[in-house]
Structure 1
């Protein structure tokens, strides 16, 4: 304290004046806007401050988006990828991966299950390809899903970077949400976790997010939490980036290393999985306070660390869950990270398990509802 007093004296400010100018954590949580230092304090919150953060986020979630949690039936239909991201288990250069492409009939059967069980929406996710064959196949699948569900099933795509023409074509064929994760909004850190070439461009990623907005999608992105080389300032800036680009939905979770990736060599730079998990929960809570009306997914990676991870995220801010509907035969081959959960459950088991978990978290499932982002609706009205 004596050192603080001496420093304050140099700048002509009394110690009492300084202490009065420092906001309490409770005062920060009551704000409607947050600075980067405010967010850093949230991300470092421990003990009573952590409890207060989670309580404030839970209250804000209930007040703005309610208690409902919406299902997005996840169909990982192909692990063939043209990208070589340094953190990803299905990167093109990983020769240990058994590559697959699910048959159209298996994909459509999974979507039919989602529709018949009133999931409301599905997510079609794949490795990143941009060939005409791939583009045409996705287009046909979108039309078939809309037909089999009589237009009732909402569709999110997560198929990477594409041209404006492709995005618009897929939108016109029935997709209305698109998830394209930035992974880090810091260009320098982005460069450390991706190859240094034109096929892995930070600027291209940003451009695609803008194109998706212009095509009319509800746009989602997200970041990894606890990466090597990442700082608390990076994560606070990630949150501000999400607000700056006016995003509609976010999927973010803890970084989990994969031994068959180049980034694994830097595992000595990361914190424990439990610390990454706790930080991810604080990120979810801080984001709910920063952007109260967006959709936030409870990432499957949370459950890879803590069996109750997704429920804990739902309690303090998340409102989207993605039950895995990928045909069981392929699930073990779509491992972006190690220890991915639910590899052996069939669709019925996954649904029943999540129903119980969500009820335990004090929420209810919005069956038969698309659960569109409130933020998107407001953005469209501006």
Structure 2
């Protein structure tokens, strides 16, 4: 078996190599983190980019077995932020030089929903003199919808696969056409065809999940040639079917540690992509996001969702920052990022370097 130092000196990694990295402990884990941090600084620098997160609706047509806002959860108070509330949050981001925002919602594809998102995109661009970058995270859509939104101003899109292992994917989703593994993959390809910077991600520490599954996830991200990744520890929600399998879970601390190793391993595997420090990390460790920034992540998402709605957009339990207004959230993150030894890329979109390299290759 290879030694950890030998693996860390490589630029290409096999599944066995990645499993070894994910199982690293103590001194070996520290070597992994140091290597990932060095690769990050050398490739994308010390800057951290803000993505102001606006969770504008928790109405969802999907029934994913792990998600707190799944359609069948009748305990959730459903909401839709008004256009004025959404634009107000985006104005805050623009005036505070966040650079970009993420518009996130439950998955809907009705004509009214598609039209509304289109209208919001155009309004945000007009309000910000086209200065504010926009990422969408609104689920599976047709190519026509993706193209329409792209032309109206969205330039990045996050569509998480949650698990690239078909067997595990089917265990955490209902068995029907609305939750088809193939459809998810097809949508990721469509987004690329439309010209988006494409992001996806996985949950780490799911029931039934192995280290080999996670290594496959990393190789899937590499093969898909994504531009950005958002991934974090799975945190159970009591109002979901998957909660019944909580006895099979690693401890939250173990899931947290594994998530950090996934971030570090991905930075080594795909050095020039954008990697988000997931909010779920902070649900386990008060400085979880800062720890991720230190070992490979370079994007962080301050929550700009109006406080009245935040408690209703809980995909998992113990979600942090539910009662901090946007200004408090910004000030808190600024201080935390400085402590993590990074600097904030104010007023910058912070586009993926990988995206531009990928564009050059395809010309």
Deviation digits for residues 246-266 of structure 1, max 9, x if unmatched?
000000000000000000000
Rounded Cα–Cα distance in structure 2 between residues aligned with 1:84 and 1:75: 22
Within 2, Cα distance between the matches of 1:293 and 1:119?
Answer: 21
| TM-score normalised by length of structure 2 | 0.99
The Cα shift of 1:148 comes to 0.3
Offset, 1:23: 2.1
SS in 1 for 2:319: coil
> 3-state SS of the aligned residue for 1:100?
coil
Q: TM-score, length-normalised on structure 1?
A: 0.94
Residue number among 341, 346, 351 corresponding to 1:367 in the alignment: 346
Match of 1:296 among 275, 298, 305: 275
**Counterparts of 1:69 and 1:218, CA distance in 2:** 18
Aligned partner of 1:73 in structure 2 is 52
1:353 to 329, 332, 348: 332
**1:207-251 per-position Cα deviation (integer Å, ceiling 9, x unaligned):** 000000000000000000000000000000000000000000000
Establish whether residue 40 from structure 1 lines up as the match of residue 15 from structure 2: no
Match of 1:118 in 2: 97
> For residues 373 and 183 of structure 1, what CA distance do their matches in structure 2 show?
21
Matched with 1:52 is 31
Query: What is the correspondence of 1:93-242 to structure 2 with a 5 Å cutoff?
Result: 93-242=72-221
> CA–CA distance in 2 between the matches of 1:312 and 1:276?
14
Max Rg structure? 1
Alpha-carbon deviation of 1:109?
Answer: 0.3
- Deviation at 1:342? 0.1
Could you tell me how far apart the structure 2 residues matched to 1:98 and 1:286 are? Answer: 38
251, 255, 260: which is aligned to 1:272?
251
SS at match of 1:86: coil
Q: Deviations over 1:142-199 (max 9, x none)?
A: 0000000000000000000000000000000000000000000000100000000000
Separation in structure 2 between the aligned mates of residue 308 and residue 25 of structure 1, nearest angstrom? 27
> Which residue does the alignment assign to 1:61?
40
5+ residue gaps, structure 2: none
Aligned to 2:103, what secondary structure does the other structure show? strand
State the 4+ residue runs in structure 1 displaced beyond 2 angstroms: none
SS at match of 2:199: strand
Query: Distance in 1 between the 2:201 and 2:247 partners?
Result: 24
Aligned with 1:286: secondary structure? Answer: helix
Equivalent in 65, 76, 84 of residue 86 of structure 1: 65
1:5 — aligned with what? none
Once the two structures are TM-superposed, the CA of residue 200 in structure 1 deviates from its matched residue by: 0.1
Gaps of 5+ in 1: 1-21
Distance 2:4 2:194 in 1: 41
Cα shift at 1:24: 1.6
The DSSP-based 3-state class of the residue aligned with 1:51 is helix
